[in-house]
Amino acid sequence: MKLPTLKYSRRLSATDYIYNFLATISGLTLFSIEFIKQAVVPPFEVEQIKKHMDELGVKTLPIVSVTGLIIGLVLAMQSYPVLARFGATDFLPGMVALSVVRELAPVITALIFAGRVSSGIGAELGSMRVTEQIDAMEVSAVNPFKFLVVTRVIATTMILPLLTIYVIVIAILGGYIAVIITESMTFEYYKNAVITSIEFGDFIPGVAKTFVFGYIVGIVGAYKGFTAEGGTEGVGKASTTSVVISSLLILIFDMVLVKITLWLWPTLG
């Protein structure tokens, strides 16, 4: 698979930056096509996928737990004074739940996931590339793309939706903690208000788009690591640019997916 070569220099011109941007987009496209080809051909390396789901997903639970709790707390505390002006504090549980389910939990979880996982994949595969471990796998008749890339991308695609559901629950509980600090509201009332406010059309689109975000995190990190060059400096660049590109693509695709969601479910608008 022939991928575009990026230009590295201490002084890049504007033309060089444009070239690198276009080369990255075209390289990611070719890399994604190769992933699709390899992903549907056995063997499927199920054990490696499980291993990476544990390493990349389960070990991310502490940071997303704290993030989810803070999201719910801050959203509820910031919204309460505004709703109190209009005597609409009864709508606070529903507002927190809808905001978290539709947008905040999927996007913020994906960005946190990108910061931890995409950089890790980029650094790991980049180190293997510059130390010629990937070349050694090719010589040993092992398909490095399938073993290193496909397994990690599938793992990130599958684990991020599960993390998002977890963050949604934690954030809603965080909202309840903020509510009981500001006013007396029973958990039963809060729970019923949350359940009443969330519909199928709210939950499914918000979680479904995290499959796309998980794929972006995995494919960008794997691409930057797999194509790293230039020794340890190249590994550092692969790790850094993995986070930047994956975060940017998550925000861009979120904007597109929100528009598609509103088109498919007009009642959400």
Q: Is residue 16 part of a domain?
A: no
If one counts the domains in the chain, the total is 1
Structural domain that includes position 210: 44-228+235-268
- Report yes or no: 94 and 196 within 8 Å, Cβ to Cβ: yes
Q: Is residue 222 part of a domain?
A: yes
Q: Is residue 14 part of a domain?
A: no
Q: Is residue 77 part of a domain?
A: yes
Is the preceding omega at residue 43 within 30 degrees of 0, hence cis? Answer: yes
Return all residues near 156 (Cβ < 8 A) that are at least 6 apart: 52, 56, 57, 113, 117, 121, 214, 215, 217, 218, 221
Return all residues near 189 (Cβ < 8 A) that are at least 6 apart: 93
- Report yes or no: 61 and 161 within 8 Å, Cβ to Cβ: no
Q: Is residue 57 part of a domain?
A: yes
pTM above 0.85, yes or no: yes
**For residue 231, what are its two tokens?**
């020794």
- Is residue 227 classed as helix, strand or coil in its secondary structure? coil
Distance (Å, whole) CA 122 – CA 174: 33
Q: Is residue 106 part of a domain?
A: yes
pLDDT tens string, the chain, 269 residues long: the values are 566 666 565 566 667 667 777 888 888 899 999 999 988 888 788 898 999 888 888 888 999 999 999 999 999 988 888 888 887 778 888 888 989 998 899 999 999 999 999 989 999 998 888 888 888 888 887 888 888 899 999 999 999 999 999 999 999 999 999 888 877 778 888 888 888 888 877 788 888 999 999 999 999 999 998 888 877 778 888 888 899 999 999 999 999 988 887 777 655 55
Query: Using the 8-state DSSP alphabet, how is residue 150 labeled?
Result: I
Q: Is residue 8 part of a domain?
A: no
